[in-house]
Amino acid sequence: MPKQVNHEERRQIIAEATWEMIMKKGIEGTTVRAIADEANLSLGALRHYFSSQEELLSYSMELVKERVTERIEKKFAQDIPMDELLVHFSLEIIPLDDQSRLEMTVWFHFMANVQFRHKFEGDDGILQALEQLLSLLEAHGRLKPGIELQEEIETLYALVDGLAIHCLFAPVRLTRERIVPIIVKHVNLLLLHPLNSSIFL
Amino acid sequence: MPKQVNHEERRQIIAEATWEMIMKKGIEGTTVRAIADEANLSLGALRHYFSSQEELLSYSMELVKERVTERIEKKFAQDIPMDELLVHFSLEIIPLDDQSRLEMTVWFHFMANVQFRHKFEGDDGILQALEQLLSLLEAHGRLKPGIELQEEIETLYALVDGLAIHCLFAPVRLTRERIVPIIVKHVNLLLLHPLNSSIFL
């Protein structure tokens, strides 16, 4: 018996076909008809899952965020010492494998498009997650005294996103071995008890 | 008499029309014919300046880099104290006005496109410039002792590019007033004699 694919799974498969199309043709060249062909569906069948191109593209953008969130939640389900959370979180954001490189490139296409960019302005979930993590560490007395929390959140967010982009564009230079000490060194500016890079390599 | 426009100026005007087209249609939707229309030129006249679509798009991408370089050179032509160079350089990279926001968005379109990305992998000029500036500061004994130069160059590069992207996507949150203290605080980790944020506001 063929594997049953439910409604939500089918939507994800179509969104992944949309990613492939965006990689080839850009957002502006991605039509509902071409996606239906890519996903081996009739136009009518595709309309059953997405009523418009706008809905399909929005969902495809949202799915990038969801996939990253899923990876982080899976990582955090492990028993990780609180002091190490910021480093593990950062390493999940940075695209160190082919799948996350594809997702980040698709994300880039959306963010270059002024129409779609607006959907996520200042709300890609990363800033909010960093706020939560740093607040948690502060509440548990794990941060050095006198930290300006809002400024440090913004700084760490910029550093991690900058590393993520450079890793995407220059993967040969920005290996995991090069990235880990940079993140750990920066996080150690904040933590009361410094971490050792070697536990993340 | 109408203003004489030389060959190179005309190429820049056409490249700027290409930027406008990319903002509207993406790279993949940007055709030589549409650019000729946008720039009020016949297809034959446009071919006089660019022999192929590939050449036109490459030049348009290169022009973004040139414009940023020009701004930095103009800034550095002023008599700036050596210790302040890193902050001024960083502030020229970050898109704080409409023109640099347009340029950075166009740059984003190119970097999202795998074909064009390869032209600039690890070579957008910023990393090299930061290397030169930090080496200059080190040679003049302006840095704290024991700085790991290569790691600090990479860290500053990521921080500045991260801030640039966040400024592009969330300009309401990331104002100059918010960005300057973040950069100065980070640069002060490196400098022997700390700077005061207020001189850059």
pLDDT band at A1 (very low <50, low <70, confident <90, very high): low
Nearest CA to A156 among A179, A178, A134? A134
Question: Within a domain: residue B151?
Answer: yes
pLDDT higher for A25 or B138?
A: B138
**Domain containing A171: what range?**
7-200
Question: Within a domain: residue A2?
Answer: no
Q: Is any Cβ of chain B less than 8 angstroms from the Cβ of A188?
A: no
Q: Which long-range contacts (CB under 8 A, 24 or more apart) does A32-41 make?
A: A32/A56, A39/A13, A39/A14, A41/A14
Question: Within a domain: residue A49?
Answer: yes
Question: Within a domain: residue B153?
Answer: yes
pTM > 0.95 = no
Indicate whether B121 pLDDT > 70: no
pLDDT at position A118 is 79
Question: Within a domain: residue A1?
Answer: no
pLDDT band at A137 (very low <50, low <70, confident <90, very high): very high
User: Mean of the pLDDT values across residues A22-37?
Assistant: 91
Question: Within a domain: residue B47?
Answer: no
Question: Within a domain: residue B189?
Answer: yes
Q: Is any Cβ of chain A less than 8 angstroms from the Cβ of B118?
A: no
For chain B, what is the domain count?
1
Query: How far is A130 from A115, CA to CA, in rounded Å?
Result: 26
Least confident of A36-40, A72-76, B162-166: A36-40
pLDDT band at A29 (very low <50, low <70, confident <90, very high): confident
pLDDT at position A3 is 67
Query: How far is A114 from B43, CA to CA, in rounded Å?
Result: 29
Query: How far is A56 from A71, CA to CA, in rounded Å?
Result: 23
Query: How far is B73 from B66, CA to CA, in rounded Å?
Result: 10
**Residue among B122, B151, B159 minimizing CB distance to A169:** B122
**Residue among B114, B151, B189 minimizing CB distance to A182:** B151
pLDDT higher for A119 or B53?
A: B53
Bridge partner residues of B143 (DSSP) = B191
Question: Within a domain: residue A85?
Answer: yes
Q: What is the mean pLDDT of chain A?
A: 93
**Residue among B108, B154, B166 minimizing CB distance to A158:** B166
CA dist A193 → A85, A137, A142, A145, B146 (Å): 13, 12, 7, 12, 21
Q: Is any Cβ of chain A less than 8 angstroms from the Cβ of B111?
A: yes
Indicate whether B1 pLDDT > 60: no
Give the percent of chain A with pLDDT over 90.
83
CATH number, domain with residue A101: 1.10.357.10
A64 CA to chain B: closest CA distance, Å? Answer: 15
Indicate whether A113 pLDDT > 90: no
Q: Which of A154, A156, A160 to mutate to test the interface with B (most CBs of B within 10 A)?
A: A154
B182 CA to chain A: closest CA distance, Å? Answer: 6
Least confident of A44-53, A117-126, B167-176: A117-126
pLDDT digits 0-9 by tens, B123-153: 678 999 999 999 999 999 999 999 999 999 9
pLDDT at position B2 is 60
pLDDT digits 0-9 by tens, B30-61: 999 999 998 889 999 999 999 999 999 999 99
Main-chain phi, psi angles of B191, to 5 degrees? -80, 145
* Greatest distance between any 2 Cα atoms in chain A: 62
